[in-house]
Every structure is written in C-alpha cells, then in structure tokens.
C-alpha cells in the first residue's frame, strides 16, 4: 500500500507518541515533498518496529530523528524485511545497541545518511542476523555517530553485512574498538562484513576492528576500499585496497546536492578515481549525480571510492571560530593539515606562506611550496 503526503506537509515534522508497526507491503514515500518530511520520536519512543514475517516495507525520502529505545534500535527495529531509500537518520539513540537501527532481519539502505546517532554498541547500526537475513548498505554515508564501547558507525555482531560504495567517517568508539566498523570474526560468530569500494577512515577509536580474539577475520574485501587503521586491517589485501590512510580528506557533513547530507572528497583525496575499472552497478552516486567522472584530470573517467563522486569542483570550507584547533577552527580544514603532529610545532611557529597539501609533500609532487618557520621550529613530514 503506497502512503504519500499532501503538499502542505512539505518540510513538516510528525511527532510520534508511540511506535508504528507496519504490515507487509507498506510503502511510505515522502520523496515528492521538496523539503522532505521528518518523523520524530520526541526522544522517548522507537519509530518503527517490523515484527517477524513482515515483508516488503519501504521508507523513501524520510528523515527519522529523536527515536529512542531503552534496549536496541532507536529509530528502526527490524525483525522483518525493510528498505530505506534516500532517508536521513540522525539524533536517534539506544541505551543498548544500534542508536538508529537494530537489524535481525533483511535490511537494505540505499542513498541514506546516518549521523549523530548514539548507543552503547553500534552508534548507528547493530546487525545481528542469521540464515538468509542480512544488512546491506549501498552508496550510504555513516558519519559522526558515537558508541561508548564498540562500533561507532556499525557493529556487525553476527551474520552478513555488506558495505558497497559507502563512506564511514568521523564516527567514534572506545580506543581500538572500531570507531568506524567493529565486527566479530568468522569462527566466533559467523560474522561476515563485506566491503566494496568503501571508505572507512578518519574515525576515532580505530576504523576497522575485529572484536574477538580467536578465529578468522570476519572482514572480507571485494577490493578498492580506502581504510584507515585497526585490528582488522589485514583483511584488506584485495586489488585496489588502500590501507593506513588516516586522513581521507573528506568535507564535513553537509548538503552538497541530492536529498541527503554527504561528505564529498576534497581534491587530492586518495579516494578520487581509485574505485577501479570494475563493473559499476550504480550509474549515480549517493546524491544522484554521475558516478563516472575524471576527478584527477589525468584522463579517463574512473569511479571514486566511497558514496560520493568528486566532480572536479573544489568544496569550499568556512572557519567557524578563532580557536587554535578543534572543530570549526582554521586548523581543522582538511587541506591545511600537512604538518599536523602531536607536538604541534606549528602552534608556536609562523607559517608565512600558504601550506601545501599533504600530497605535494608526501608524494614529492612538484612544485613544492615554501614554508618559513621560526627559529627552533621542527618540520616533520608525515606520509599519508
């Protein structure tokens, strides 16, 4: 049964006083509203729960926010089969696992963004499936979610999870506990976390973590992933995999076109044109813009890694405060980080020339820019 909304509800919020339990074949679609439609749990209730046996439920063009569960799954608790298309899930929380979603059924997310959700485990999503059930994310962005223990973005506790052309960044968890994605291993829990053309980098508390001490690594690479750090790094040895990329050079989450906020790469990001020449099942990126773009000017259109294709247009950045460092500061701008170091010598040095990008220094790509440092300053190069 299709469910749509009258134009007068454009940009409006519906506050739910209790959970909605959809039946099979319910399709809730707000994509005709230019300003979208928000469903809020008011910080007190779970928004949707699909009971076992409920199938073919679709949510399109919705924003799900302020959902709350004292157990698992703040916005969506799925024991059936649900697909979310072009949805934004933010500001949801669970006392247990899965700040936005707990999935034990069949879950598909396409073109969705999950940000600012929080839980104990799995800041945005916990996946705990068996048998034919699965969690699949395609061209989605998972950014800025928080877990107090493991899996800041996702926690794959059990079963099959797929990350296809996704970007997972700026999430956080406890140290070494998968600020991006945490997963059990194969022997421990039959957990298979399959990644293809996906960025998992720039998260706090490691990017990819295998949480059990024994058995096989449950991460499986389909190739052309861009990964930062973590205990599961040794799974990313397929063609085109890039590892130890601690700074993926992604823009802050914001609206860059399309129905959902995203984190596009800046020029010089290792993600650009690194998606390989493999068959491309998605002609568009998360925003709905063309996927095959020559981003490095070297000729030949190549797919980028991650949810968003760099189109050659430099993303602008705005300094929000006069702090020396931290969110919104001048130093936080991605392309102004080439000399970042724990001892932070630049804090007491004078840079009298615009600093070059990391790529210009780290890859010895001329021409170099000149840096004039005060006496006593230490200049350190860091490969990225």
Q: Which residues contact Ca ion (rule: CB under 5 A)? A: 273, 293, 295, 302, 304
- For 366, how many CA atoms within 13 A lie in the half-sphere containing its CB? 1
Cβ proximity to Ca ion, 77 vs 309, nearer residue? 309
The closest alpha carbon to 352, from 334, 373, 337, belongs to 373
At its nearest, how many Å lie between Ca ion and the CB of residue 289?
A: 11
Token readout for 72 is 């698992």
- Nearer to Ca ion among residue 160 and residue 273 (C-beta): 273
Nearest approach, Cβ of residue 222 and Ca ion (Å)? 18
Query: In this structure, are residues 11 and 35 in contact, taking their beta carbons and an 8 Å threshold?
Result: yes
Contact indicator for 69, 76 with CB cutoff of 8 Å: no
- Of 47, 53, 24, 58, give the one whose Cα is nearest residue 100: 47
For residue 371, what are its two tokens? 């840096």
Buried b (16+ CB within 10 A) or exposed e, 129-153: beeebbbbbbbbbbbbbbbebbbbb
- For residues 126 and 95, the answer to whether their CB atoms sit within 8 Å is no
Of 189 and 225, nearer to Ca ion (C-beta) is: 225
**Count of residues making up the chain:** 384
* Of 23 and 294, CB closest to Ca ion: 294
Are 161 and 183 in contact, with CB atoms under 8 Å apart? yes
Tell me the closest approach of the beta carbon of residue 365 to Ca ion, in angstroms: 19
Q: What minimum distance in Å lies between the beta carbon of 192 and Ca ion?
A: 29
Of the two residues 160 and 304, which places its CB atom closer to Ca ion in the complex?
304
Q: How far is the CB of 356 from Ca ion (least distance, A)?
A: 23
Closer to Ca ion by CB, 247 or 304: give it. 304
Q: How far apart are CA 329 and CA 5, in angstroms?
A: 41
Residue 109: CB minimum distance to Ca ion, A: 23
Q: Looking at beta carbons, which residue is closest to Ca ion?
A: 295
Measuring CA to CA, which residue among 170, 216, 162 is closest to residue 190?
A: 216
CB of residue 311 vs Ca ion: minimum separation in angstroms?
8
Q: How far apart are CA 330 and CA 350, in angstroms?
A: 14
C-alpha 179/C-alpha 200 separation (Å) is 9
User: In the complex with Ca ion, which residue's Cβ is closer, 104 or 197?
Assistant: 197
Structure tokens at 137: 């994310």
Smallest gap, in angstroms, from Cβ of residue 252 to Ca ion? Answer: 21
SS3 content of the chain, % helix, strand, coil (to 5): 5, 30, 65
With vertex at residue 277, the alpha carbon angle to CA 274 and CA 281, rounded to the nearest 5 degrees, is 100
Closest to 92 (Cα-Cα) out of 28, 14, 156, 145 = 145
Q: Would you say 168 or 293 has its CB closer to Ca ion? A: 293
**Which residue's CB is nearer to Ca ion, number 124 or number 293?**
293
With respect to Ca ion, which residue has the nearer C-beta, 192 or 310?
310
Report, in Å, the least distance between residue 285 CB and Ca ion: 10
- Report the distance separating Cα 74 and Cα 124, nearest Å: 9
In the three-class reduction of DSSP (H, G, I as helix; E, B as strand; rest coil), residue 187 is classed as helix
Q: How far is the CB of 164 from Ca ion (least distance, A)?
A: 17
């Amino acid at each position: 049964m299709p469910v749509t909304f009258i134009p007068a509800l454009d940009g409006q919020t519906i506050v739910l006083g209790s959970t909605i339990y959809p039946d099979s074949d319910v399709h809730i679609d707000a994509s005709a509203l230019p300003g979208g439609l928000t469903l809020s749990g008011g910080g007190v209730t779970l928004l949707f729960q699909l009971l076992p046996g409920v199938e073919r439920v679709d949510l399109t063009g919705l924003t799900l926010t302020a959902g709350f569960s004292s157990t698992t799954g703040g916005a969506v608790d799925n024991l059936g089969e649900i697909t979310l298309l072009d949805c934004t899930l933010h500001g949801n929380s669970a006392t247990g696992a899965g700040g936005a979603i707990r999935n034990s059924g069949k879950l598909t997310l396409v073109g969705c963004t999950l940000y600012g959700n929080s839980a104990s485990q799995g800041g945005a999503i916990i996946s705990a499936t068996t048998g034919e059930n699965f969690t699949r994310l395609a061209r989605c962005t998972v950014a800025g979610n928080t877990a107090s223990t493991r899996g800041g973005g996702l926690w794959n506790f059990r079963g099959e999870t797929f990350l296809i052309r996704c970007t997972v960044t700026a999430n956080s968890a406890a140290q070494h506990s998968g600020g991006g994605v945490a997963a059990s291993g194969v022997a421990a829990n039959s957990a298979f976390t399959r990644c293809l053309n996906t960025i998992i980098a720039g998260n706090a508390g490691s990017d990819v973590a295998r949480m059990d001490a024994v058995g096989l690594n449950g991460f499986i690479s389909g190739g052309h992933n861009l990964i930062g750090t973590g205990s599961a790094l040794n799974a990313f040895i397929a063609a085109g995999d890039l590892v130890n990329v601690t700074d993926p050079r992604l823009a802050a989450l914001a609206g860059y076109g399309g129905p959902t906020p995203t984190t596009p790469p800046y020029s010089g990001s290792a993600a650009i044109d690194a998606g390989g020449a493999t068959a491309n099942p998605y002609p568009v990126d998360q925003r709905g813009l063309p996927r095959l773009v020559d981003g490095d000017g070297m000729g030949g259109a190549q797919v980028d890694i991650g949810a968003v294709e760099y189109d050659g247009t430099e993303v602008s950045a705005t300094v929000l405060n006069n702090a020396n460092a931290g969110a919104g500061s001048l130093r936080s701008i991605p392309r102004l980080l080439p000399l970042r170091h724990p001892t932070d010598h630049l804090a007491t040095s004078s840079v009298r020339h615009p600093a070059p990008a990391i790529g210009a220094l780290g890859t010895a790509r001329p021409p170099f820019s000149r840096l004039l440092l005060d006496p006593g300053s230490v200049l350190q190069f860091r490969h990225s």
